[in-house]
Amino acid sequence: MSRLPAAKRKTQLLDTAASVFASMGYHGTTTSELAKAAGVSEPIIYRHFESKKGLFIELIERTGQDTLSAWKKALADLNDPAERLVRLLASNPMVEAKAQVRYRVIVQAMTETQDPDITAALQTHILKLQAFISAELQAAQDAGVAKAAFSAELVAWLLIHIALGYGTLTSLGVPGQGTDAKGKHIDEIVAGLVLK
């Protein structure tokens, strides 16, 4: 077991936990298994997290922060609200390799646990993503490049619903989902629903 600075160790534990939770689920994972997978002793887990649940909640929170950071970075070079929206619509973290494992954990948590603290963390995660998308939609509506028949808030919820379904089917490896025989992709429909 190599000695890492506290911040790096915590990051390593969260990364390892994402993989273990993704394969074994929240209830099927013990802190002993997390420690073994990370190559540390179990007390190291408790040095950084108060419990398995605390680690799990922090993983949810970090996933949300990472998603928002990735979106901000992806949009940083764009000023045009329509271009920003198109890029955002094409950036579903559930299907991006870097975040896919962590989002598998989140989807499992949505269906596997009824713990009120985990549920609250998941709700906060989704609400932050919805607020970000809503702000981008509102800017596009204000600029006159996005349809305004419905509020940005409501359209943001629709996009989250679509993204969750698309991401879930992608993780299942459903052949051809999201495309048709001509090679058209669902992103084109979503952009057509949102942009003028």
CATH number of 118's domain: 1.10.357
Domain assignment of residue 154, given as a range? 60-194
C-beta of residue 81 within 8 angstroms of C-beta of residue 140: yes
In total, how many domains does the chain have? 1
Separation CA 4–CA 106 (nearest Å): 27
Residues 6+ apart with CB under 8 A from 191: 85, 86, 89
pLDDT at 170 over 90: no
Question: Mean pLDDT across the stretch 101-117?
Answer: 86
Predicted TM-score (pTM) of the model is 0.91
Please state, for a pLDDT cut of 90, what percent of the chain lies above it. 74
Separation CA 140–CA 85 (nearest Å): 7
Among 48-57, 90-99, 142-151, the range scoring the smallest mean pLDDT is: 90-99
Residue 2: predicted pLDDT = 58
Is residue 179 one of the residues assigned to a domain? yes
Q: Confidence class of residue 161 from pLDDT cuts 50, 70 and 90?
A: very high
Is residue 47 one of the residues assigned to a domain? no
Strand partners, 185: 179
Residue 44: predicted pLDDT = 93
